[in-house]
Chain A
Amino acid sequence: MSDALKLTDVSKTFPVGRKLFGAPKGQVRAVHPLTLSVRQGETLGIVGESGCGKSTLARMLVGLLEPTTGRIEIDGEALDNADPAVFGKRIQYVFQDPISSLNPRKTIRQVMEAPLKHLYRMGADERRKRIAEIFASVNLREEFLDRYPHEFSGGQAQRIGIARALAAKAKILILDEPVSALDVSVQAQVLNLLADLKREFDLTYLFISHDLAVVEAVSDRIAVLYFGAVVELGPAEEIFANPRHPYTRLLAQSAPVVGRPLTAPEAKGTELPDPLNPPPGCAFAARCPRATDRCRKQVPKLDSGHASSVACFHPLDEG
């Protein structure tokens, strides 16, 4: 199968303490050089805790942020100019907060027409037909088109957000925590809708979430992010059941599960390393029960070889 999306050494560094003139005081690396490919028709889940760089990564993938280094290829074609209008036809974004991703002063019709008008220069008749088609596929009634965003519930607004992403005819959707603002009963509706749309339009998904159970339920493969780097990448059914990286295991054990007694899986501090002053070795070493001197001095590389790849000198399956 071909790669729908390929990242080679993509990284992002933000300057901090910017002054009016002259160089900034320091730099924070939000995403460390990252190489990743997503196959056509696949759902790649990305999990990580707050501050791990998942949103920065997502924004680079749709051209809202320019990568500091590296290359993004979509369908074998390099896109490195960070122009959302070019990215927009190939890759689209579904936002976390469905209400704030809709302009409060525009009707849903105006919102839906924008990508058709500006990306495809469609005429009025053509636009009407296309919007009707998309609305039918996300189960929204056409009478909603002349209403304003505040009249919708979170679940409906998220359907509109998905419809807008589909309107651009992109084959790849970045789903950035698409259900975390929704109630559980509505969450399942939206997740099922996403699964149906994927089959119907042959889409490729990048599903970003902090909820392990949700990611596991929708993904083919899952990448675990810690401090801006992928620490483990593997098949969804394997990664939390048989974690190889100690951080993945920590995540899996922390998730509350019905029928498992409450245990704090970690005694040491939970602080992330200081991004202005990152540790020389593995970023997780300070919290890791298996850390050795080597971990504190050298950064482990993502290593494949098993079903999953892991960035660890002492993976859990090596005794």
Chain B
Amino acid sequence: MRAFFILLARNRLALAGGVVLALVVTLALVTPLLPLANPDVTDTSNRFRPIFSEGALLGTDHLGRDLLSRLLWGTRLSLAVGFAAAIFAASIGAAIGIIAGFYGGRTDNVIMRGVDMLMAFPYILLALAIVAALGPGLFNALIAVSAVNVPFFARNIRGITVGIAHKEFVDAARLAGLSNTRIILSEILPNVVPVIVIAMSTTIGWMILETAGLSFLGLGSQPPQADLGSMLGEARSALITNPHTSVVPGVMILVIVMSINLLGDGVRDALDPRLKSGALTRPMAATLVDRQGPVPEPTGKGLLEVQGLKTEFHVKDRIYRAVGGVDLHVEKGECLGIIGESGSGKSVTALSLMGLVASPPGVITAGAAHYDGEDLIGAPYPRLRDMRGRNVAYIFQDPLATLHPLYRVGDQLIEAIRAHRPISRAEGRAKAVELLEAVRIPNPEQRVSDYPHEMSGGMRQRIGIAMALANDPDIIIADEPTTALDVTVQAQVLTILDDLRRSRGLAIVFITHDFGVVAQLCDRVAVMYAGRIVEEGTTAEILDFPRHPYTARLMACVPELGGGKRRLEAIPGLPPVVDRLPPGCAFAERCLKARPDCRKGEIPLEPLGRRRIRCLYPEDESREVAQ
């Protein structure tokens, strides 16, 4: 709640709106206590007195009534009706929306078609029809304005409810014996309330305006009772001769509606979870680079050489060191595996190379990535853009999220090619078919004009690979490309990648958490923990004799097919959070062999035989490992 107010106050316009609205509401609340003239007493001898005249600060109207008094009483009434209408509309609309969304099926269909019919009428016409049927009067105007706004709430809330009703916690509540009514009240409603508040905050102003409109037409408040709309209506005939009678209520309506809308927008922005998470902020085209120390010189190791790469996320006053100094290299035709748990920094490392980490909040603070002698970190954006896809291409985990749902896969492939070289459509199509053949999609001639949703998950991931191959890159970075796939499909995708690298001499950086996949595909493997490499070497050597305790324990955790029913070796505890890394070895907390000096100072990644390892007391090679 406090965070909400801080966020709201940071928005200057919303704050101003809030202050003005608070002022108006306070005035309206204390009106009965103020020494004001009776707003309804007529005094025709003093009609149309100008502003600032004696005894009538804002003048008088056509019947000689005190305008200031009428304005304050009218504001009081208009605000009350507006808020009441908003609350009515919100509660009825939300109830309808929740019921439709929760029960779904036929109930939903019937209710929502009814709501659609209501929405088909222009709202002012509908309000007029309702008032015409019920008769004029402020209360009937209130009913009309509420009824007109119910569909807006019903549709909004239904959409949200449908999403929540299929969440697992609703099923869990059912299994805990809750009835449908209870589920609606205790599981659905608390999750919908913020949306109701947002919808209300953005519509109250509108409803005050609609009520004023009905009163202006003489269908709302009846004389002599004043509200802002009827004051305007009565002043209309004297608009030219005595403009102040119209200007006074007009300015008040403007002030109220403006302040409510500004505040409402602020409330919406502060409550919207997407805005809070920063999902709606546009990231920069390339990751921000802010290197403090000297840039490492290339040593000529491999096609791609990463040295001392550090990537941080600066969120408010916290610094998350996602990648804390990574050294890697990959040769032509080689497959390098990066293995680690979630949060170990493996994906951020891969994304940093081509400046694909979202900034803000990502910042690359140190290191270099030399591709063929050229440093990619800090390369100007046009150069990076030119190299993305042409020299270094990516394959991501979820092909459904990376393919555009509205374009045919062939067109998307052609677009990827055209981004780098101009080719004709026919040529592009031929190339696209060729690419689909390369990833062994059956009937490529027909499949090329399929939409992504017409393909299975395995097929879509092949399209992802085809797209990565489109410009004959030298390096492919594959970020868990088979994690979302079934095992039989995974085996096929891995085979395709393996064949491609052999036939085209591709270098592959393969990010995964699966030792089985690493064993089958990768030549070398780097194990990451808390943003750093803890062990690196050839796959065979590391899988046969893991020497870092973390690698050994992690491998022992994973059940292997053919092992039979058994108890697994678990690693107690959790990986450290990367904004509070302990000094020394990050794994020391969970390590059985940790000694006091493991928790002190920097532990370097040092060569040990043919591998590199970041540990003071590595596992003994003679020991039988993993058990």
Give residues in A with beta carbon < 8 Å to B. Answer: 18, 20, 49-50, 59, 62-64, 84-85, 87-88, 92-93, 95-97, 100-106, 111, 114-115, 118-119, 153, 155, 161, 164, 168, 183-189, 191-192, 195, 210, 212-214, 216-220, 236-237, 240-241, 250-266, 269-272
Instruction: Return the contact of A236 from the options B191, B458, B565 (Cβ within 8 A).
Output: B565
Cα distance A93–B568 in the bound complex, in angstroms: 23
Known: A87-B175, A118-B177, A185-B341. 17 other contacts (CB 8 A): A49-B488, A59-B171, A63-B175, A114-B176, A118-B176, A184-B557, A185-B554, A192-B568, A213-B561, A216-B564, A220-B565, A254-B490, A256-B520, A257-B516, A258-B560, A271-B456, A272-B456
A213-B563, A217-B565, A266-B492 given as contacts; is B341 within 8 A of A105 (CB)?
A: no
| B124 within 8 A of partner (CB) | no
Q: Please, which residues of chain B bring their CB within 8 A of the CB of A168?
A: 175-177
Least Cβ–Cβ distance between B48 and chain A, in angstroms: 57
Most buried by B among A111, A212, A216, A218: A216
Q: If A64-B171, A262-B495 touch, does A20 touch B109 (CB 8 Å cutoff)? A: yes
Q: In the complex the two chains form, is A257's CB within 8 Å of B105's CB?
A: no
**Cα of A153 to Cα of B513 in the assembled complex, Å:** 18
Q: Which residues of B contact A253 (CB under 8 A)?
A: 491
| Residues 541-595 of B at the A interface (beta carbon under 8 Å) | 543, 553-554, 557-572, 574-575
Q: Which residues of B contact A254 (CB under 8 A)?
A: 487-488, 490-491
Chain A residue contacts of B486, Cβ below 8 A? 49-50, 210
Most chain B C-beta atoms within 10 Å of own C-beta, residue among A118, A265, A270: A270
- List residues of chain B with CB within 8 A of the CB of A237: 564-565
Bound-state Cα–Cα, A261 to B519, Å? 8
Count of B interface residues, CB-CB < 8 Å: 67
Mark contacts of B389-406 with chain A using CB atoms, 8 A cut-off: 1 yes-contact digit, 0 otherwise: 000000000000000000
A289 to chain B, nearest CB (A): 14
- Choose among B110, B191, B492, B553 the residue with the greatest number of A CB atoms under 10 Å from its CB: B492
Contact A265 B191 (CB under 8 A): no
Q: How far is the CA of A197 from the CA of B341 in the complex (A)?
A: 26
Interface residues of B in 252-277 (CB under 8 A from A): none
A262 with B521: CB separation less than 8 A: yes
Give the chain A neighbours of B172 by CB distance below 8 A.
93, 95, 101-102, 111, 161, 164
User: Smallest CB–CB gap between A285 and chain B, Å?
Assistant: 16
Q: Once the chains bind, are B488 and A270 in contact (CB under 8 Å)? A: yes
Across the interface, which residues of A come within 8 angstroms of B303, CB to CB?
none
Minimal Cβ-Cβ distance residue in B for A114? B176
**Distance, CA A189 to CA B520, complexed state (A):** 26
Select from chain A the residue with minimum beta-carbon distance to B491: A254
Q: Which of A64, A164, A189 contacts B572 (CB 8 A)?
A: A189
Tell me the nearest residue of chain B to A91, going by C-beta.
B175
For B489-518 the 0/1 string (1 means CB < 8 A from A) is 111101100100000000000000111110
Interface of chain B: mostly helix, strand, loop or mixed: helix
Q: Assess the B520–A260 pair: CB atoms within 8 A.
A: yes
Q: Tell me whether B488 and A265 are in contact (CB under 8 A).
A: yes
Nearest-CB distance from B114 to chain A (Å)? 12
Among B341, B342, B567, contact of A192 (Cβ-Cβ < 8 Å): B567
Docked complex Cα distance between A106 and B173 (Å): 12
Residue of B169, B520, B561, B572 near A212 (CB, 8 A) is B561
Task: State which of B109, B341, B559 has its C-beta within 8 Å of the C-beta of A217.
Answer: B559
Contact status B568-A185, CB under 8 Å: no
Q: Which residues of B contact A261 (CB under 8 A)?
A: 520
**CB distance B178 to A118 under 8 Å?**
yes
Chain A residues contacting B173 (CB-CB under 8 Å) are 103, 114
Q: Write the chain B residue with the least CB distance to A97.
A: B168
A259 touches B571 (CB 8 A): no
Inter-chain contact A115/B177, CB cutoff 8 Å: yes
Q: What's the minimum C-beta distance from B15 to chain A, rounded to whole angstroms?
A: 27
Question: B562 near A88 (CB under 8 angstroms)?
Answer: no
- State the Cβ distance, B168 to closest chain A Cβ, in Å: 4
Question: Which residues of chain B are within 8 angstroms of A240 by Cβ–Cβ distance?
Answer: 561-562
B564 touches A256 (CB 8 A): no
A20 to B559, CA, bound (A): 50
Residues of B with C-beta under 8 A to A64:
171, 174-175
- Over the window 169-198 of chain B, the binary record of Cβ atoms lying under 8 Å from chain A Cβ atoms (1 yes, 0 no) is 101111111110010001100110000000
Q: How far is the CA of A144 from the CA of B519 in the complex (A)?
A: 40
Please pick, from A186, A256, A257, A260, the residue contacting B490 in the complex, using a CB distance under 8 A: A256
- Complex contact B175–A262 (CB within 8 A): no
A191 CA to B17 CA, complexed, in Å? 55
- Closest chain B residue, CB of each to CB of A89: B177
The residues of B that contact A191 with a CB separation of less than 8 Å are: 559, 568, 570
